[in-house]
Chain A
Amino acid sequence: MKAVVLNGSNRDNNPLNFWENIIVEILKNRRWEVETVELRNIKLSTCIGCFGCWIKTPGQCILKDNGVEICKAVARSDLLVLLTPVTFGGYSFELKKMVDRLIPNLLPLFTKINGEMHHKTRYEKNPKLLVIGYHPQHDEESERIFKELVHRNAINMDSPANHAEVVTGDINDAKAVVMLRNIKVIS
């Protein structure tokens, strides 16, 4: 079982690094093969909205940087873990850069899901989705937006299961481990 962990923290000492370490440890103990990427430390262009990955080189981004390899790793994974500071209820710039670059793994064609239009997925099997957002303190509205966003991303990625968690600065190691161990998508 393969897992890809994308860390969208915007600075080196972000509390998300603590969460990344614990998640990776739990996954490895459960014999997952884990690939982690610190997005702020790699060359990664922002999506230019050209649809080249659909109409010129189907399934592959025309921008030749680390985004191509990450997209490949995600397509071949069983679990995608996203870590991000909660930014106005959504993902940080660092994480969203890569999330925008994942559209080669979709098809341009449309399908109806619960009566609503979405893109079809390119691959038969898609990874489960776990997203951990960090917010310095509890914020009900941010949390609502964040969980809804993850839910909608999971629909668009056709993820077989998804889980979103917003964590704050007041959780210690022991509590964090217990919380993560109980999350079904990484069991």
Chain B
Amino acid sequence: MNESSKVLLLVGSPKGEKSVSNNIISYILEKFHENDVNAEKIFIVKEVRTDDTLNKLVSKALYSDILILVSPLYVDSIPSITIKVLEEFYKHKKDSYSKKQSFMAIFNCGFPEPHHNDLAMDMCKKFAYDSGLEWVGGVTIGMGPSLDGRSLEKVRMARNLCNGLDMAVEALMNNESVPREAMLIASKPLMPLSIVKFVMCNFGRFLWCNQMDKTVRKKMYDRPYES
């Protein structure tokens, strides 16, 4: 990576600043800045509101050297707002000059098993291939909500994720693909799956009830559209 190289970090979550994706990107951004890399974070949710802002985002993406997407999993796939950006980028990339660009994706989901993200990762790989970007690797994270609201460094169970991301950033700065080892470390489940599954299946109701008003708890199982 040379001095003029630009890294663009895209927060793919519709929740924007309050998202786990933003937490992850903030960690990566800091690592790039510590090494004086020209890196910028953009919230997709703010830029897809008008054609004008979307075009500006795509132009910026077309001129970056490394694109990193961090996104939540929505219904087994990429959230719609992020698909919109990928569609637009693909359209413009076909018509633009062939600058060499790299693409990395990181997906997080609410389920404990990171592999729920695998299809979204496959779609990102396909996007990279179709758009002529170099795919440099991906990370899949389960139990995403447990990383909510705190910087990654303060979350004890995110140690493997941080270590893997550190290795990924170092590789990207050396113009290398993310090592397989880094992807595997970063994608390790945050807690033993058997324990998390037991808790979620047997105590999930209590976890969700804590987020509800008392009056709403009684309506949790409502079927408003039952015919």
Mutual binders A and B:
yes
A→B interface (CB under 8 Å): 10, 46-51, 54-60, 71-72, 75-76, 87-93, 96-97, 99-100, 102-103, 105, 107-112, 116-118, 122-123, 141-142, 145, 148-149, 152-153, 156
* Contact residues of B between 172 and 227, Cβ < 8 Å to A: 197, 200-201, 204-205, 208, 211-212, 216, 219-227
Question: How many chain B residues touch A (Cβ–Cβ < 8 Å)?
Answer: 49
Q: Within the assembled complex, what's the spacing in Å between the Cα atoms of A120 and B111? A: 13
**Assembled-state Cα–Cα distance A145/B87 (Å):** 17
| A90 and B204 contact, CB distance less than 8 A | no
Quick check: A149 and B76 within 8 Å, CB to CB?
yes
Which residue from B80, B81, B123, B224 sits with its C-beta under 8 Å from A60? B224
- Report the number of A-B residue pairs with Cβ-Cβ less than 8 Å: 144
A49–B78 Cα distance when bound, in Å, is 13
B126 near A141 with CB under 8 A, answer: yes
| A-B pairs with beta carbons under 8 Å apart, 6 shown | A49-B79, A75-B227, A76-B227, A91-B83, A110-B111, A153-B75
Q: Is the interface of A mostly helix, strand, loop or mixed?
A: mixed
Does the CB pair B221–A58 fall under 8 Å? Answer: yes
Closest to B226 in A: A123
Could you tell me if A156 and B111 are in contact, using CB atoms closer than 8 angstroms? no
Interface residues of B (CB under 8 A from A): 13-15, 19, 48, 72, 74-81, 83-84, 86-87, 90, 111-113, 116, 119, 122-124, 126-127, 129-130, 197, 200-201, 204-205, 208, 211-212, 216, 219-227
What is the CA–CA distance of A31 and B182 in the complex, to the nearest angstrom? 56
Residues of B within 8 A of A145 (CB): 119, 122-123, 126
In the complex with contacts A46-B14, A58-B219, A88-B227 CB distance below 8 A: no
- 6 nearest CB pairs, A to B: A75-B225, A96-B80, A93-B84, A88-B126, A88-B127, A72-B225
Q: Is the CB of A58 within 8 A of B216?
A: yes
A110 and B15 contact, CB distance less than 8 A = no
Given A60-B224, A122-B221, residue A117 in contact with residue B111 (CB < 8 A): yes
With A89-B122, A100-B80 as contacts: A47 and B221 at CB distance below 8 Å: no
